[in-house]
Structures are given as structure tokens and as C-alpha cells.
Amino acid sequence: MTVTTTEARERWLRPLRRHDAPRLRLVCFPHAGGAAGFFRTWAARLPHGIELYGVQYPGRQDRIGDGHATTMDDLAGPVAAALEPLAGVPLALFGHSMGAAVAHETARLLEGRLGRPLAGLVVSGRPAPDRLRPSEVHLGGEEALLDDLRRLGGTSDEVLDDPALRAIVLPTLAADYRLIETYRPATTAPIRTPVCACVSDADPEVDPGEAAAWEHHTTGSFGLRVFPGDHFYLVPQEAELVAQVLRSCDLPAPWPSTP
């Protein structure tokens, strides 16, 4: 069966805010276990003319029947292909945690296909590619996953304590953990797209120094923003983070934003 460009785009991208004549398309990549809808609330914080898309990885929600990705290429390749037809309007990518790595690899692929840099790449809650920490949580089974989810926060106790809910979410989390913990970049050559690294001051996964090292992975401009909070600082700091993303793309943003 041949999959059309439109079908591929609809499989991988969820439109969260559309415009007839957009001036920027912001594409958001979720964390391990996350889904496109995580960014739905961002739509109300964006100024006129900004489209918002969430990337929907396979194996969750409306893609529950699709097999989980096993390598970074399984994610970045199809997402880049889905985004290429949309690149007539400037593209900016945002990714958190695992999503930051997927967004970075997608930006690299798109640069090669388009022959030019993107409007911006914002990486959140993720060390630079040359500062990755070794981790093998995926080898420890269900209990190791649950312990790590509790350590990081961001997953409700209702899910963690309910066997039926755990049975739904843990296979996806296990697959995502395996993918990101075994991922090693094929190259650490810098991209041309401007990069902004966002990090919190109490994230157990990445410290500001490891985030600042993203500066060496772009030949474009670089910015670093440190927020208060833990690994999921982007929930309570949503308004400030969205404003920072827009500034990173040289767009004005309300400050403070309002939902």
C-alpha cells in the first residue's frame, strides 16, 4: 500500500492551531511516553499567525495500533518527510527531553533537504549530544520504570498506582526509554539552525552546564534560559517558556502570556 504525503503528514502531525496565512509553523516534540496533545494548551498563548503542530509518535493514543519506534531514524526520518512540504512557511522546532533529541535530528535532516537552516530549534530538558549521561533504566523492567517516573515527576499517582492504567502506558514508556537510552548521534557536527537550550535549575536529568554545551552544536546564534523547577518545569512555567520559544525565533511575545 502506497502512503501519500498527506496521509504521512496526518499520521505524524496533529494540528493544534491553524491559520490561513501563517508566518511561522511551530512543531513540538513530546517527551518519552508523551503525545502530541501535551502541547494543546500552548495554542492559546501564541500570537496571531503562528501555527502549532504536535508530533504524534507511534504506539500511543490514536496510533496505539502502530508499532513502537525502535531507533531514532524511525522517528526523525518520517517526521522530516512529513514537515518538508510545510516548509514554505518558516519552521521552528521545540522538543522536551527525548523530544529534544528527536527535534534535533529532524532539524538536521530538514536542513539537508531544504538546503537552509530552520527558523529555530529549542531543546528543553536534554544535555547536549556530546554530554549525554549513560542510563539503563529500560533494562530494569517495570519497577525500574516506575521508580524513574516517580523520580522525574510529570506522571500522576493515579496512573502509577492503577494496574489497568499502567498496563496501557508502560509498554510505550518502555519502548521510548529503550530508544532514547540506546540512541547515539551518528554525527555531532553542528547544524546551522539557531538553537536555544532551556533547562530548569533542579532537573535531575540535566544541569545548566550540560544544557549550555548545546552552543557547540550550532553555527547559528545560541541562547540559554534557566527556569525554576524540576524536569517538568514546562508545565508550571508554560507561559514563560512559550514566550521564550517565540523570542528565540525573533518573534514578539506577550509578557506575561495569558491563557
Q: Mind telling me the catalytic residues?
A: 97, 231
Strand order of the β-sheet with 91-96 is: 13-17, 50-55, 24-29, 91-96, 120-124, 195-200, 222-227
CB–CB of 124/117 below 8 Å?
A: no
Cis ω for the linkage preceding 256 (within 30 of 0) = yes
Reading phi first (left if > 0) and then psi (alpha if -120 to 50, else beta), residue 47 is in: beta
What is the C-alpha separation between 138 and 20, in angstroms, rounded?
43
Q: Are 172 and 34 in contact (CB under 8 A)?
A: no
Beta bridge partners of 51: 25
Report the C-alpha gap between 95 and 72 in whole angstroms: 14
**Cell, residue 144:** 525500574
Answer yes or no: are the C-beta atoms of 191 and 119 closer than 8 Å. Answer: no
Q: Tally Cβ neighbours within 10 Å of residue 188.
A: 11
Is residue 251 a contact partner of residue 50, using CB atoms and an 8 Å limit?
yes
